[in-house]
Structure 1
């Protein structure tokens, strides 16, 4: 950061936040490709409540071609998500600083909350398509991306592209608020141990995203189960949660099945994204 008051940043500096957010997320697409099988393994555990070895066995039997079925939406979403999330958070933070004489520690979190709300509106359709493609039970009647889009276009928004919109909004808004609220203070603590700025940013991004992923993991499981199917009996959030909780035998341990793999994915993607973004912001400042 430059040390200048946020309210005095010029429009070009705020544009850099959008550019750097997109760039950092784009550069992290390679790790996304590498860990996509991990993500898909977690998804199978979320949907079918299977142990990790059984989920890996399912993917192995399906073969390498189907292993990367559904990888396009998260790659596109990662790049656009970084652009919107970091850029919009910085824009909202600027507006908050203009309406307040003092920059408080709560403002980054509040701006992150607002950015998370917009993020949910924009990216819920991407997540919906991704979850339909990753569900192996859809391979026969929805074999291609085009077939999935045609089917979702025929549905109402609430049951089609915006299925599970409410839990996604809650997850993204709270997650973004925690990320932007904790990232800076945690980075300062890590930097106080004598580590370089890049390493400090990486560690702070990793630890922050790890904590958020674990705290909000049950919501992600709920979203995956709500979005995996197209058509049929469309139930509300409360009914779906009751069905999910019952299917997990009312066990928190079973509900968190696959959670350890989420930690691994968060360590790789958000750690790298945070380090690259903070470095670019510092160089442009």
Structure 2
């Protein structure tokens, strides 16, 4: 029967599945584009975090190594960020949809995006910690001799226990990603509405909201990112726990917050470009799909 409730319900369910699929597709696309644009900036920040150098010196190191090495190590982050965006945006949208159906007003609707983002961040940490581990090893210039290629890194990490190999620094990554995702999805929507109310276009509003949100998150959680980079950059040698690594990091920065935040200015720039572009592209595609 053409107008039967069952058929209408089936069609509605199919449309709903397509909307969820679009969230995964658009998340991956937006992340891929933004990653290609900001990778040189990311690599400069990484050098500052590992070698405790100024922006000028870090850029000088990269220029000395030449253009051929500028995108050395881009494959893992490109793959990671594309898959990351696919999972993060798509899973958050799926979790948000499920929570909306099942919460029955036990949870305030305004809190659902942040709660779904927290769940997506937990899954993201478990899935992508190995990618980040490989990326940090490859981008550490001190590893060029004994692990010069992606294959050599993979072989070296495979021979270690998960906690020391691919899943080194899982706990701080989980904390960083869960909190960061929760704040991002909880804040970007309200900020976008506020900016758009000033008369700006939806695309510009999305870019600004993504920029401001990620800027605040990056600066807040930056010490965790520095800790993760230092824990994951080495392969072999003496293995220390989280607190021991944090004490070493704090002492190496002369117990100075300013030195701990070295590279923070470029983190702001990277966040502005990456999440501004990603948010704008994602929101635009989602509106077209609705």
Aligned match for 1:72, one of 50, 58, 75: 75
Select 2:63's aligned residue among 29, 45, 60: 60
- CA-to-partner distance for each residue in 1:217-248, whole Å, 9 max, x for gaps? 10000000000000111111111001000110
* Equivalent of 1:272 in 266, 273, 277: 277
Aligned to 1:168: 173
SS at match of 1:28: helix
Q: In structure 1, which of residues 130, 144, 156 is the aligned counterpart of residue 161 of structure 2?
A: 156
Partner of 2:266: 261
Which of 1 and 2 has greater Rg?
2
Aligned partner (choices 189, 201, 214) of residue 196 of structure 1: 201
Residues 97 and 171 of structure 1: CA distance in aligned 2, closer, same or farther (over 3 Å): same
Moved more, 180-189 or 97-106: 97-106
Structure 2 residue aligned with 1:4: none
Question: Secondary structure at 1:220's aligned position in 2?
Answer: helix
- Measure, in 2, the Cα distance between the counterparts of 1:135 and 1:30: 19
The CA distance in 2 between the partners of 1:148 and 1:280, in whole Å, is: 37
**Please, which of 221, 231, 240 is the counterpart of residue 236 of structure 2?**
231
Unaligned ranges ≥5, structure 2:
1-12
Q: Deviations over 1:139-184 (max 9, x none)?
A: 0111111000000001110000000000000000000000000000
Choose the corresponding residue for 1:17, options 20, 23, 35.
23
Superposition CA RMSD, Å: 1.5
Shift of 1:281: 0.9
Match of 1:211 in 2: 216
Q: 1:82-161 maps to which residues of 2 (within 5 A)? A: 82-102=85-105, 104-161=109-166
Larger mean CA deviation between 90-99 and 118-127 belongs to 90-99
- Structure 1 length normalisation: TM-score? 0.94
Is 1:28 the counterpart of 2:34? The answer is: yes
Q: How far apart, in 2, do the equivalents of 1:69 and 1:12 lie?
A: 37
> Deviation string for 1:108-166 (max 9, x for gaps)?
00000000000001110110000000000000111111000000001110000000000
State the aligned residue count. Answer: 276
Deviating above 6 A after TM superposition, structure 1's stretches of 4 or more consecutive aligned residues are none
SS at match of 2:110: coil
The answer as to whether partners of 2:36 and 2:78 remain within 8 angstroms in 1 is: no
- In 2: Cα distance, 1:38 partner to 1:10 partner: 38
